[in-house]
Amino acid sequence: MSVVLRNAQRAVPVRRAPLRRAVCALRTALGASRFDVGLVCASNALMQRLNSAYRHCPEPTDVLSFPFHQVVAGELPRPFCRGEYNLGDIFLGVEYIHQQCRETGEDFDDVLTVTAAHGLCHLLGYRHDTKPEWEQMYQKEAQILEELNRLTGSRLRPLTAGLF
């Protein structure tokens, strides 16, 4: 199946092909390569509108995930028909992420990939509202990033190491 990537902002240049390849590899590491994923690179303004509308937090953010299926963390959706082979959509706040990277000195493309991994985990039911949920999600992110690192020679790690 496919990863559909749309760049809906103009503030930050995004290398779409490497990001799409990384998301395809991460989807495979999750065992979800049969499922479509939508990926939108968004501006601060769009992220702020979405965050306000769906999370009642009127600020831009780095990632928002909108799952197609409601699943328990660690389980794949069980589609009934071909049209349901969809994990959902991930909105990456690339302008927000770019600003954070400028402040921290981290590599933008690496952080974008790790943030996409975080979004994919959310599409598959992982959350981080409590410490046990965070531990489960962190472990899954580390696992799929380790697989991506093995394939690409990179050294990516989850960004939420110090959340709890």
Q: Is 39 exposed, middle or buried (0-12, 13-18, 19+ CB in 10 A)?
A: buried
Domains and CATH numbers, the chain: 3-152 (3.40.390.30)
pLDDT tens digits for 44-96?
999 999 999 999 999 999 999 999 999 999 899 999 999 999 999 999 999 99
Q: What is the rounded CA–CA span in Å between residue 75 and residue 97?
A: 29
Which pLDDT band holds residue 114 (cuts at 50, 70, 90)?
very high
pTM reported for the whole predicted model: 0.95
Which pLDDT band holds residue 164 (cuts at 50, 70, 90)?
low
Which pLDDT band holds residue 163 (cuts at 50, 70, 90)?
low
Please, which residues bridge with residue 90 across strands? 39, 65
| Bridge-based pairing state of the strands 86-93 and 63-67 | antiparallel
pLDDT tens digits for 129-147?
999 999 999 999 999 999 9
Q: What is the rounded CA–CA span in Å between residue 94 and residue 137?
A: 22
pLDDT above 70 for 118: yes
Are 88 and 37 contacting, i.e. CB atoms less than 8 angstroms apart?
yes
Sign of the dihedral defined by the CA atoms of residues 84, 27, 43, 164, in that order = positive
